Every structure is written in structure tokens, then in C-alpha cells.
Structure 1
Amino acid sequence: MEDKGETVQLRPVADAAESSSPIPAKEDSEEDYDPHLHRDLPKPTNNVETLVHLLKCSLGTGILAMPQAFARAGLVTGVLATVLVGVLVTHCLHVLVRSQYAACKQLRVPLLAYPDSVACALGRGPPALRRLARPAALAVDVFLVVYQLGICCVYIVFIADNIKKVVDPYYQMAVEIHMLIILGPLIAFNLIPSLKMLAPFSALANVLTFVGLGIVVYYLLAGKKPEARDEPLDLWGSAETFPLFFGTTLFALTAVGVVIALENNMKTPKAFGAPCGVLNSGMAIIVLLYVTVGAIGYVFCVSQCSDSITLDLPKDDPLATSVIIMFAVAIFISYCLHCYVPVEVLWKGYILPRVQRSAPGRERLCEYALRVALCLLTFVLAVAVPRLGLFISLFGALCLSALGICFPALMEICVHFPQRASAARSVLFGKDVLLLLVGLVGLVAGTYTALVSIVRSFA
């Protein structure tokens, strides 16, 4: 999803250490504390603004990769599975928000970052899990950093592929050369230290994305890719490629960091998870958009779908070329927003304290060095594996299966432990165990399939 990470709440994982110790059983005073009433927000958002932010963050490389995802799953399977994955993701986001609220209530604090909430929940859970509270918080940080850097790799490949499509009629170069050309501007743009300074660029990216997506839909409805005109549609797909579909869809639909931040910044947070609230309404619209683009995009190009549907638009068409340029510029800007997240996690959580002890006065220089190093790391990975669709599947399956499914289910199990056994709690426990298994299977199968496909792509 576009701009998923720009508002993720961050903090040093070491700060969660105190949360990792066993938390005493719930006291009566805990019932009197409502974290929502103690939030001091300078500029809270209303329900409509929150919904707009949620929708804005959902349109990007993920939705552009959905036609290829449908080509891997089949038309009917793709529609049904996208809806099911959407329901699964929405439920897990509800579980995460509820579990974070319970953790805030237990610690009597208005807000907690995701890793702190995991540490708090496991610290209150079964004795066997309490010792894992701090490692689990660290694991959340690791997955967040890997996922955000993975998005940056995806974005470098996306920008280079689309620039190559525009430039090739005039002068052909390898996609790696295009990556090298954009590396300098990416590093320079990534040295901007403040999200506030990036806000005008982010607004421009949003406008370009919405306009570009509208033009893409127009092309998909107006005709069919020439190479695919006589090819029959695959309705059901195959089990071999379905894990790649799962990883891509999970990458596209899951917005863990954004959802947490949006709920934390609401004027009326209780409306976020209501039956007809912001989350359910937003995810319903998002799933409908993804099913629509995936289905009509697959009908447009059948098995000839590229990693991004923009690469399947007509050649030498000025309007199609303008769309490609729009998305390339929008994703270029979004790269810096996503790289901001791992910089914050690594810098404030791990590097800054050491720099202040060993080299005081050089903080800004070291921060710039970290920003440049992360840009170079994502560039090297993108050059090493210039496979946009497989990158999306890999990071969706690896990181979002954990962040979006496994950890929320584990948190809910621990938050409701220990409590008096009942049939309702047994059903809740069974449901969370099932979610945990689904997440683990998706993580292992999706990651394995993506890695194998990456290896085969070089054969």
C-alpha cells in the first residue's frame, strides 16, 4: 500500500524492556482508566479525514500489481481470495487495535507503539511466553525495518522499469543503469530530515497517484492487450503459484503501521473500529478497488501481465506515457517517506544512544551517513534482484504475515490470559490459534515460493 509507513509510531525497543516483565493481574482501578480519554492530541483527525487518509495510503504499487496476482490465481479464485484476504486482514487489524487498547489500559498510558504493545501483551500472557516479551518487541522492529526497506527496493525497481519503458523507444539501456541514474536523486531527497518538509511533495504524489489510476482504469476498460486477444482466461489458477498471489495481496491490503497511527490520532477513536466505522468502511472500499483493478487488468492482459499494469499500457501513446511518468514521480517521492521509518527505528532506537556516548557532537553527520547507507543497501538489493512482482510477494509473505496476522493473534491470546475459562473464551482462543497457523503457513509457503521463483528467474 502506498505510504504505509510514513506515520508508523516508533520508539527504541529497549524502552519496552520494562513491559517485558510479567504484568500483575488486572486490578479494579484498571476498569476506571480509558486510554482514549487521556490522549492529548494537538491536531486530531475526524472520521472523514481518517477515512481519506486510509484510502490514500492504499493506492500505489500494490494495486498496480493486482492484475499479475490474478494471473497467478485465476479470475474466479482471485476475486474470491482477495475478498477473503481482505476480511482476514480487516479482522486482524481489529484484533490489533483492541489488543493495543487493552495493553494501554493495563499500563494506564494513553498510547503505545506496536512493539511496546506486543511486549506488554506477552508479559501478561502464559508463563512460557513472558520471557519472549522483549525478543518479540525486537522482532516487530526487525520486521518493520525489513518490510519498509523491502518497499524501498520495490520502489527502485518500479521507478527504473517504468522509466525504461518511456526511454526505450529513444535510447535503450539496461534497467540497472536506470537504477544507477536515479540513485543520486534518491539519496539527495532522502537526506531531508523532516516529514513536515516532505508534506508538500507527499500531497503532489497523492494527486498524481489518483489521476494516474483513473487513466489506467480507462485503458483497461477500453480494449485488450494485443498479445492476449486470443488467449483464454484461467478461472481457477494453480496451487503452485497461489502463495505468490497471497503474498502480493497481503502486501497490497495490509497497512499495519498506518492503521495504528490513524486510530491513535483520531478525535473519536471509538468510531474507528465500530461495525460501520472507519476501518470497516475503508477496507470495504479498498477491497472493492483491488478486486476491480485486478479483475479488469487480468482480462486486459491475461497471462501476459507485467509486474506493474503500467508496463502493459499501449506504447507510443502520449496519455499512457504521461501515466507512467506520473506514477514514477509519485513512487519516487514515496520512497523517501518509507525510508523515513527504518531511519527512525534504527537511529533513535539503536544508533543515537551509542553516538551520544562515543562521539557527541557528530549526531547529524552520523544520521546522514545512516540515510545514505540505507539508500545504498536498497539500491544493491534492487540491482541484485530486479524482479518487481517477486519482491512484492516476498516481502508481503515474509513481513506482513507476521506483522498483520501472527502478532495480532498472539497478542489477543495473551491479553485474555489469565481469565476464567468459558466457552466464549475457548472459541476466542481457538480462533486466534487458527489465525496464528494461517499466518505461519502464509509466511513459510509464501516466502519459500517467492525465493524459489526468484532463483528460477535467473536460471
Structure 2
Amino acid sequence: MARTSEVDQDEEQARSTLLESNSSNNGATSMQTLMNIIVSIVGTGVLGLPYAFRTAGWLAGSLGVITAALLSYYCMLLLVQCKRRAIVVLEGGGEENRIETYGDLGARAFGAKGRFLTELMIVISQLGGTIVFLLFIGENLSSVFSGRHRISPSVFILILLPLQIALSFITSLKVLAPFSALADACNVLAMAFVIKEDVKQLQSFGGSRIAFNGVWSLPFACGVAVYCFDGFALTLSLEKSMARPKKFPWVLLQAFIGVCIVYTCFGVLGYLAFGDNTMDIITLNLPNSLSSIIVKLGVSMALALTFPMSMHPIKEIMEAKLKSRKSITLRAARVIMVVAVAVLATAAPDFSVLISFIGSTLCALLSFILPALYHLKLVNNLSVWERVLDYIIFVIGIVFAACGTCAAITGHFKN
């Protein structure tokens, strides 16, 4: 039997912590899996949706979120179908070589090169997500403490650097898991507070609101939407964690319906409330009241403490490659990695620009292109319509990635 590599074992251990916390010995229930799916999808990107709706228009933004949800849901099902079909029974024994990670799927489809490409995209995407974390923290702290003279978000990112370096030496995911739960709770609190302020602003609704802002605004808004639905690295682990995996498609559908409704309402309300004044991070539109300051500080500090969790899959792969977990070289590599991410965050573009770029490139590859390609490669006896749909999704992913990258580079997304 082909053995799972050390890298995959480490990655799976890192990604399965959330699943283990809500699973019994017999597997997770449907409700537990539903909560895990929501946690794996919803993140800080949602706070950039109102600005995406401002850029594309409230109607175009809504259609973009719905389209991203439909395609993401279908492509996650493609991964599950690939996993179930791509089981190799070895000659002379009943042992099975099962697909457990996205990297395993890449290896089964295209060998070592397929695994390398899949894992590389996951690592780069995760790296982009950590930079988004730091940008969000810097922007929010800058809005709280700047006063008359604006302090650059980069200053706050560098101020928090010693804390991030210290936290990088925590290797126990059990220690880090509560901070992740705290960050999720703070995100929900921030969304609830923003919606309350949106409703207050709507009472004095003024000015026009655009429904459709031109073709070139769509790649930007869709990139943000795709980023907000990114959870493909955990799809196979979530399905595997269930006591009754056959129910996974229905549970996944429930999660996507709920999240899609929340995303659409959140984006529309934010744009309708603030119009052309909508900021790339909606919390920056909050008034300078004590409650809003507490929300901003709470979300920022929770994310600062969660930063090591988001870096953990990258650290696991790096440590597996170095094969010297207790050496000075490994400790130095951790510090260098955190410093490098912080430096990249200080040089990164605006929050909304970055999440749109990541969504249009890396997330498009992981969410649409690779699932369709692996489905065509691994699943036999596909009907004509299934093959046609796979090719359509593959082409959509390529065109979307090209248009999103072009829009980000040329700056056509700016109003």
C-alpha cells in the first residue's frame, strides 16, 4: 500500500483539531459538522463584502455571492465524489489506499507533481490569509488610535510582531484552539454590531445606490465573494469526520444556504447604509463610540491571538521538510517566517484588493479549476453532461482568474 507522506500526516493533524473538538468516537453528528463547516468558511473576508457591493453594485454583488456559493458547493461535492471513486484495492490483499486530503487527491490524479501543486497552492493561499489577518488588525487599530494624525497600519503590524514571534513557539493546537473560537465569536459580534449600525444609517437613507457598476467591477466583487467561501482545504476532512458521511452533501447545502443569505444581506445592508462612503473594511465605518472601539479592539486582539493557528499548516509542512523539530534551525525558521509575513503585510495593497486578488487567483484554482480537473481525471463513466459541466467550470475558473488578476493589476476595480 502506498504510504501517506509525513507532510500529509502533519497537515491532516493540524486541520483536524477543530473536527476532533466537536466529534465523538463514532464521528461527528450532522449538527456538529454543520457548525464546523460554517466555522471553516466564515472569516474576516465577510467584513469586506459591503465594499465589494459598493464596487460592483448591490444587484451585481448579490448575484456574485450567489454564483460563488453555487459553484463552490458543487465543486466541493466534486472533491467528495473523487475521493469516494478513487479508492485503489491492492492486489493480494483487502487493504485500501484511501484519499484523505486534498494533496492525496492531487497525487492520485497526477502523481507527485499533482500533490506538489495542490499543497503549494494551499500553502500560498494560507499565507495570503495570514497577511489578510495582519492587514485587518493594522487597519482597525489605526482607526482607533490615530486621532488627528493617522498612524499607518504598518506601524501596528510591526508593534505586534514580538507577540506573534512569541506565539509562534506554541506548537500545541489545544492551546491555540480557544483563541480560534474567540476570534469566531468576535467576528459574529462585529457583524451583529455592524448590522445594527446599518439599520440606524438606513433611517437617514440618502443618495443613490448603484445596482450594476459595469463589467470590470464584477471580477473584483466576485473575487471577494470566492475568497469568503474558501474552505476547500478542509472539505475532505469534514466529510471524513462524520458518523454518517452520506449525509455530508445535505449538511453542506444547509451551511451554504445559510451563509449565502447572511453574506448577501450583510453586503447589501452595508452598501445601502453607507453608499459611496463604504470603506474596504466595514468596521472602519463605525462611529467613534465606546462600543464600536471595543468591537474593533476585540476583533483585532482575537485575530492577533489566532494568527499562529492560521500559520500552523505552513509551519507543519516546513517542519516536516526540515525534519528537525527541536533544532535551533527550526526555531530560527519560525521567526524568519513570521517576520517575512509581517513585512509582506506592510507592503501589501488594501484589504479588499488583497482578498479579491487571492480569491481571483489561488482560491479560483483550488475552488474551481482543480476540482473539475481531478473529477475528469479520476471519475470513470461520467455522463456527457457531467463532462460538459466539468469543462465549463474549468473554463470559468481560468477566465475568472485571468480577469480578476487583470482587474487587480490595472486598478479597474477602483471607483
Q: Which TM-score applies when normalising by structure 2? A: 0.88
Q: Which of 286, 300, 310 is residue 313 of structure 1 equivalent to?
A: 286
Residue matched to 2:201 = 223
1:118-267 → structure 2 map (5 Å cutoff)? 118-122=106-110, 133-169=111-147, 172-224=150-202, 230-267=206-243
Instruction: Classify the secondary structure of the residue corresponding to 1:185.
Output: helix
1:14-413 → structure 2 map (5 Å cutoff)? 42=25, 44-104=27-87, 108-122=96-110, 133-169=111-147, 172-224=150-202, 230-273=206-249, 277-315=250-288, 317-348=289-320, 350-352=321-323, 355=324, 363-413=326-376
User: By how many angstroms is 1:247 displaced?
Assistant: 1.0
Determine if contact 1:385/1:454 at 8 Å carries over to the other structure.
no
- Alignment-mate amino acid for residue 100 of structure 2: L
User: By how many angstroms is 1:370 displaced?
Assistant: 2.5
Instruction: Classify the secondary structure of the residue corresponding to 1:12.
Output: helix
CA change 1:386–1:183 in 2 (3 A) is: farther
For residues 77 and 84 of structure 1, what CA distance do their matches in structure 2 show? 10
Residue-by-residue CA offset, 1:178-208 (whole Å, 9 max, x unaligned): 1110111111112211211112222222222
For residues 137 and 106 of structure 1, what CA distance do their matches in structure 2 show? 20
User: By how many angstroms is 1:50 displaced?
Assistant: 0.9
Q: Moved runs in structure 1, 4+ residues, more than 4 A?
A: 40-43, 454-457
CA change 1:410–1:291 in 2 (3 A) is: same
CA change 1:345–1:106 in 2 (3 A) is: farther
Determine if contact 2:140/2:283 at 8 Å carries over to the other structure.
yes
State whether structure 2 residue 12 is matched by structure 1 residue 12.
Answer: no
For residues 163 and 38 of structure 2, what CA distance do their matches in structure 1 show? 28
For residues 172 and 237 of structure 1, what CA distance do their matches in structure 2 show? 31
For residues 247 and 185 of structure 1, what CA distance do their matches in structure 2 show? 31
Residue-by-residue CA offset, 1:191-247 (whole Å, 9 max, x unaligned): 211211112222222222222221121111111599xx6431110121122111111
Residue matched to 2:13 = none
User: By how many angstroms is 1:105 displaced?
Assistant: 5.2
State whether structure 2 residue 403 is matched by structure 1 residue 445.
Answer: yes
Determine if contact 2:7/2:316 at 8 Å carries over to the other structure.
no
For residues 118 and 8 of structure 2, what CA distance do their matches in structure 1 show? 9
For residues 364 and 307 of structure 1, what CA distance do their matches in structure 2 show? 42
- Alignment-mate amino acid for residue 119 of structure 1: A
Residue matched to 1:425 = 383
Residue-by-residue CA offset, 1:113-132 (whole Å, 9 max, x unaligned): 1111122134xxxxxxxxxx
For residues 455 and 14 of structure 1, what CA distance do their matches in structure 2 show? 41
User: By how many angstroms is 1:331 displaced?
Assistant: 1.9
User: By how many angstroms is 1:413 displaced?
Assistant: 0.4
User: By how many angstroms is 1:104 displaced?
Assistant: 3.4
Q: Which TM-score applies when normalising by structure 1? A: 0.80
CA change 1:154–1:10 in 2 (3 A) is: farther
Residue matched to 1:126 = none
Determine if contact 1:156/1:379 at 8 Å carries over to the other structure.
yes
Instruction: Classify the secondary structure of the residue corresponding to 2:171.
Output: coil
For residues 106 and 136 of structure 1, what CA distance do their matches in structure 2 show? 21
- Alignment-mate amino acid for residue 293 of structure 2: T
For residues 338 and 164 of structure 2, what CA distance do their matches in structure 1 show? 7
Q: Specify every segment of 5 or more residues in structure 2 that has no aligned partner in the other structure, as ranges.
A: 11-22, 91-95
CA change 1:156–1:239 in 2 (3 A) is: same
User: By how many angstroms is 1:306 displaced?
Assistant: 1.3
Q: % of aligned pairs identical?
A: 24
User: By how many angstroms is 1:170 displaced?
Assistant: 7.2
CA change 1:10–1:94 in 2 (3 A) is: farther
Determine if contact 1:149/1:342 at 8 Å carries over to the other structure.
yes
- Alignment-mate amino acid for residue 329 of structure 1: M
Aligned residues: 395
- Alignment-mate amino acid for residue 295 of structure 2: V
For residues 196 and 409 of structure 1, what CA distance do their matches in structure 2 show? 35
User: By how many angstroms is 1:379 displaced?
Assistant: 1.0
Q: Cα RMSD (Å) of the superposition?
A: 2.6
- Alignment-mate amino acid for residue 54 of structure 2: A
For residues 140 and 305 of structure 2, what CA distance do their matches in structure 1 show? 15
Q: Specify every segment of 5 or more residues in structure 1 that has no aligned partner in the other structure, as ranges.
A: 1-8, 16-39, 123-132, 356-361
Determine if contact 2:100/2:236 at 8 Å carries over to the other structure.
no
Residue-by-residue CA offset, 1:325-355 (whole Å, 9 max, x unaligned): 121122223321111111112322x222xx5
For residues 99 and 120 of structure 2, what CA distance do their matches in structure 1 show? 21
For residues 323 and 104 of structure 1, what CA distance do their matches in structure 2 show? 48
For residues 10 and 321 of structure 1, what CA distance do their matches in structure 2 show? 47
For residues 356 and 341 of structure 2, what CA distance do their matches in structure 1 show? 17
Determine if contact 1:145/1:342 at 8 Å carries over to the other structure.
yes
User: By how many angstroms is 1:172 displaced?
Assistant: 4.2
Instruction: Classify the secondary structure of the residue corresponding to 2:27.
Output: coil
- Alignment-mate amino acid for residue 298 of structure 2: M
Instruction: Classify the secondary structure of the residue corresponding to 2:280.
Output: coil
- Alignment-mate amino acid for residue 328 of structure 1: S
- Alignment-mate amino acid for residue 305 of structure 2: I
The more displaced of 327-336 and 141-150 is: 327-336
For residues 9 and 310 of structure 2, what CA distance do their matches in structure 1 show? 23
